[in-house]
Chain A
Amino acid sequence: MAGAAVLGRLGWRTASIAEVRPETPRVKTIALEVPGWPGHRAGQHVDIRLTAEDGYQAERSYSIAAPEDGERVELTVEEVDDGEVSPYLTAEARAGDELEIRGPVGGYFVWDSDYPGPILLVGGGSGVVPLMAMIRQRGAIPTTLVYSARTLGDVIYRDELERLAGGGLDIVLTLTRTQPQGWAGHSRRVDAELLAAVAPPPDQRPLAFVCGPTPFVEAVALALVDLGHDPGLVKTERFGPTGT
């Protein structure tokens, strides 16, 4: 796709925060304006660097939450208790603030719009973020999202997902810690039994993207391979523990 090639060394750019939107009590979407942004593909991420007044710097990698949109780059960030960057982004960041951004990076966990489909997206907690960028630009490709969250209140993008469901997008939500009264959905962890019931079968050769905390990703990837899915069609991205 246009703009994905970045020749030569990749440097830091200054971005300004255009908008901060709460998603859940612990998660916010930060929309950045990045002058000269070269564009990106769904699934890619960026590094964000903060510099304190004494010169101390901290940087972290975040998935991009939305498809390419000019110089606008949206990140959805979950507060990590002992994090160095996420507490600023989720609690202090305001429209007009500036920070440094490097990217886009990543070619391994990216949406391949040439794949004939179907697509299987499996997210745990804020692992849904790069998957949302894929959903938002999937077009007509048949897609199944299996999304595991602790509670209904922890479901990121809930309203938008409800709106987008149907028309070739199946959304399977499982709430692993508490479920609202009368919950008719799933409450089990994403395991082989759940995937066998809701995911496209191996003979349809779905391209799978699995993102979440490391134990979640490893359990899901193993379950998919056990069910007969081609390991070469299972793409994974892991991040640290979030208790999902």
Chain B
Amino acid sequence: MSDLVLDGNAAAGILHAVYGAEMTLAVGTCDSCAIAGPVGAVRLYRSAGLVLRCPHCDAVLMKIVSVGERVWIDSRGLRTLELSSEPAG
């Protein structure tokens, strides 16, 4: 399967399913370049799993692999993830 360059919006479903919240407006800070921005705007590459990369320095922010109903998330490339503790309205 060819890799496709998408953006973080394409991970909205899996992230919402895992974290229980709308995540595309969550603000992630790249551990590599320290630039912060919404998850919906990061670059996303899809192959065997999803790889989210920083749109500024291209560092890997998150890797998401799901098999059946199990999901593995590696988020070492994210220094922080900031989101509202209020339910979305």
Chain A residues within 8 Å of B, Cβ to Cβ: 4-11, 45-47, 57, 59, 61, 82, 84, 102-103, 105-109, 214, 236-241
| A–B pairs, 30, beta carbons within 8 Å | A4-B88, A5-B88, A5-B89, A6-B22, A7-B20, A9-B17, A9-B20, A45-B9, A46-B13, A47-B13, A47-B14, A61-B9, A102-B17, A105-B13, A106-B24, A107-B12, A107-B40, A107-B88, A108-B40, A108-B41, A214-B5, A214-B6, A236-B41, A238-B5, A238-B7, A239-B4, A239-B6, A239-B10, A240-B5, A241-B5
Contacts of B6 in A (CB 8 A): 61, 214, 238-240
In Å, the complex CA distance between A82 and B4 comes to: 11
Which residue of the partner chain A has the closest CB to B25? A107
> A81 — nearest CB in chain B belongs to which residue?
B2
Question: Are A7 and B87 in touch, CB under 8 angstroms?
Answer: yes
Q: Shortest CB–CB separation between residue A25 and chain B, in angstroms?
A: 22
In angstroms, Cα B7 to Cα A108, docked, is 11
Q: A109 vs B41: C-alpha distance in the bound complex, in angstroms?
A: 9
Number of interface residues of B (CB under 8 A): 27
CB nearest to A44 among chain B residues: B12
Q: Which B residues lie at the A interface, using CB under 8 A? A: 1-2, 4-10, 12-14, 16-18, 20, 22, 24-25, 38-41, 68, 87-89
6 closest A-B pairs (Cβ-Cβ)? A108-B40, A240-B4, A47-B13, A105-B12, A108-B24, A238-B7
B13 touches A82 (CB 8 A): no
Alpha-carbon separation in the docked complex, A105 to B8 (Å): 12
Shortest distance from the beta carbon of A109 to any chain B beta carbon, whole Å: 6
In the assembled complex, the Cα of A10 lies from the Cα of B23 at a distance in Å of 12
Residue of B nearest to A239 (CB): B6
